Amino acid sequence: MRKTLTLIAALAAGSAVAQQAADAVQPEATTTGGFAAMSRQVAVALKAKDDGLPVTGQTWMVAAANPHAVQAGADVLAAGGTAADALVAVQAVLGLVEPQSSGLGGGAFLVWYDADSDALTTLGGRETAPLAATPTRFQDANGEPLKFYDAVVGGLSVGVPGTPALLATAQAKWGTGDWADLLQPAIALAQGGFDVSPRLAGLVAADADRLAQFETTASYFLPDGQPVQAGQRLTNVAYADTLLALAADPDAFYTGAIAQDIVDTVNAAVPSGGLLTTLDFSLYTTRERAAVCAPFQDHEVCGMGPPSSGALTVGQILGMLDHYDLAALGPADPQAWRLIGDASRLAFADRGRYMADSDFVPMPTKGLVDPAYLAERAKLLAGDDALPEVSPGNPEWDHAMIWADDESIELPSTSHISIVDSFGNVASMTTTIENGFGSRLMVRGFLLNNELTDFSFRTHSDGVPIANRLEPGKRPRSSMAPTIVMKDGAPVLAIGSPGGSRIIGYVAQAIIAHLAWGMDVQQAVAMPHAVNRFGAYDLEADTTAAELQGPLGEMGFDVGTRELNSGLHAIAIGDGLTGGADPRREGIALGD
């Protein structure tokens, strides 16, 4: 089957069409008005995004989900700071202006390219389950899984946050700036106030009933009982005070009154209190691990290993697709999307069975991205139609173990930060509090995560244990896929996205668009989405991607259209730097 979809074909053909693509894919409005007044640099970056053009630079660049946060990072980089320094400034501001997505109360994964040592590594700042947690925590008295929001809202879902530890560790290892100074932009903005963005205002209004359940949360997001409005000036003195405490002592989050306040708030939540203790906080550590890499188009696509499924699943998809000539097919050919869709289904089958926290369960980590295994799996894609059946494969194990398929639910929130500094260091960090507004519990000016609902609510299936079941001290499986693409040992692309388990499809598609189809990073992040996890093929509504519905349906895929709310932020490193920010969200790239 060879049907040409002219509009999608045109995506690869130049900026006029990139403009058309950018215009077509804005399920949530971009917000140029308030932000454009921040500075000329921000106004130029917003205009570039609206025009579908990448931002360019020679020395440094930062791309993230909110112009205030990007500006804070840009100021650090312009003053000679490293990407690790800028990361602290960006995350501290995001926790204020985009509080629904990430912050001190959540977790993050960082992929880091260190220019000095010419080495790639990863830092895991994933939340941990309390030591008192039991595997059946998310089941009712009959052993049935709780309804999702019954589990999310309140103290039951809150794990020990990892983002503060990750930031402190990364900055101590790779930063050169003064830790306290790096928090200053966020402190000033929290004290002086910031204008609520249209996106934040819209999300608060949509979630008002849940936010209203907890007094501290309600008084911040629903002052006088009404959702904060776009353009309303909001201060957060409690957040500024928390940052001041962290400025004085980076460990303060885990040792003293802050940890105690979180424990008290979580455990006292009504109707569902948690089981955290200050011991859980004092035991928290970040994990440094080797990156997981897979080959694609003469590049190595590298990212975060367990407990994230991100790099393994993106790597499996791309590693299988590398056996087919996607470049020759091009984005117009439905056969390209058949290959992408079925490679994704095969990868998600393995993800559901094998991927979890490898500190707790044996995992075939190497086997899952072994080239010989992926070559065998790729042979399954040789036909013309959708695979009628998709099941997990049998990757090589270091030691034997069999798991049942996972049943965790993930909804999209989260945020991604890409940074390149003037020394050549590269940071790619995805950061989250899980659901939008996390557990809805707020302490000292920041929201607490609901990351524990990323565990499987069931522990077994037909008597076989599920790898991603809840266990005390364990880290829930993630889909976050912060990525650095390497070519001949050098970094060429930093990229990542929010989007729950669709993160994997968003990141894989953007890498294909950039490397195989020659799109610049702005075109690649703006391109209409078509993502397949394990069930339906999701096409982005009201975009040219929806034109694939007929051809993919004829091939046997279960196809539907829906809003697909990625938040891709990418920096390409080559002859200079080019940055792209997803038009579906409020972010920008800034560079010099």
Residues touching ligand GLY, count (CB under 6 A): 10
333 binds ligand GLY (CB under 6 A): no
Cβ atoms of 95 and 446 closer than 8 Å: yes
Residue listed under structure tokens 């560079």: 591
Q: How far is the CB of 266 from ligand GLY (least distance, A)?
A: 18
- Residue 177 marked in a binding site: no
CB nearer ligand GLY, residue 41 or residue 478: 478
Q: How far is the CB of 269 from ligand GLY (least distance, A)?
A: 20
Q: Is 414 a catalytic residue?
A: yes
For 58, how many CA atoms within 13 A lie in the half-sphere containing its CB? 0
Q: How far is the CB of 109 from ligand GLY (least distance, A)?
A: 8
Out of 157, 316, 432, 523, which residue is the one contacting ligand GLY (CB under 6 A)? 432
Question: Which residues 495-524 are close enough to bind ligand GLY by CB under 6 A?
Answer: 500
Compose the 451-490 pattern: x for residues touching ligand GLY by CB under 6 A, - for all others.
x--x-----------------------xxx----------
- Radius of gyration of the chain from Cα atoms? 22
Q: How far is the CB of 478 from ligand GLY (least distance, A)?
A: 3
Out of 114, 406, 410, 471, which residue is the one contacting ligand GLY (CB under 6 A)? 410
Cβ atoms of 567 and 498 closer than 8 Å: yes
451 closest CA partner among 429, 435, 437, 466: 435
Q: How far is the CB of 320 from ligand GLY (least distance, A)?
A: 22
d(CA 22, CA 279) in angstroms, rounded, equals: 49
* CB-nearest residue to ligand GLY: 478
Q: Is the dihedral of CA 314, 316, 321, 323 positive or negative?
A: positive
Residue at 267: amino acid letter: N
Out of 434, 538, 547, 582, which residue is the one contacting ligand GLY (CB under 6 A)? 434
Q: How far is the CB of 534 from ligand GLY (least distance, A)?
A: 15
Sheet harboring 576-581: ordered strands across? 55-57, 576-581, 569-574, 490-496, 483-487, 299-303, 292-296
Dig out the tokens for 188 from the structure: 């000033």
CB nearer ligand GLY, residue 479 or residue 523: 479
Residues contacting 572, CB < 8 A, separation 6+:
54, 492, 493, 514, 520, 521, 578, 579, 580
Cα angle 435, 441, 443; round to 5: 125
CB nearer ligand GLY, residue 82 or residue 478: 478
Q: How far is the CB of 144 from ligand GLY (least distance, A)?
A: 23
Dig out the tokens for 161 from the structure: 């946050």
Compose the 370-409 pattern: x for residues touching ligand GLY by CB under 6 A, - for all others.
----------------------------------------
Q: How many CB atoms lie within 10 A of CB 402?
A: 11
d(CA 276, CA 258) in angstroms, rounded, equals: 13
- Residue 500 marked in a binding site: yes
CB nearer ligand GLY, residue 434 or residue 471: 434
Residue at 499: amino acid letter: G
Strand 119-125 versus strand 107-114 pairing type: antiparallel
Torsion of CA 494, 497, 501, 505, to 10 degrees: -60
CB nearer ligand GLY, residue 127 or residue 586: 127
Cβ atoms of 426 and 112 closer than 8 Å: yes
Catalytic residue among 217, 286, 313, 414: 414
- Residue 415 marked in a binding site: no
Q: Convert 215-230 to b/e letters by CB count within 10 Å (16 or more is b).
A: ebbbebbbeeeebbeb
CB nearer ligand GLY, residue 500 or residue 528: 500
CB nearer ligand GLY, residue 67 or residue 352: 352
Q: Which residues are catalytic?
A: 414
Residues that bind ligand GLY (CB under 6 A): 410, 414, 432, 434, 451, 454, 478-480, 500
Would you list which residues are annotated within the binding site for L-glutamate? 126, 454, 478-479, 500
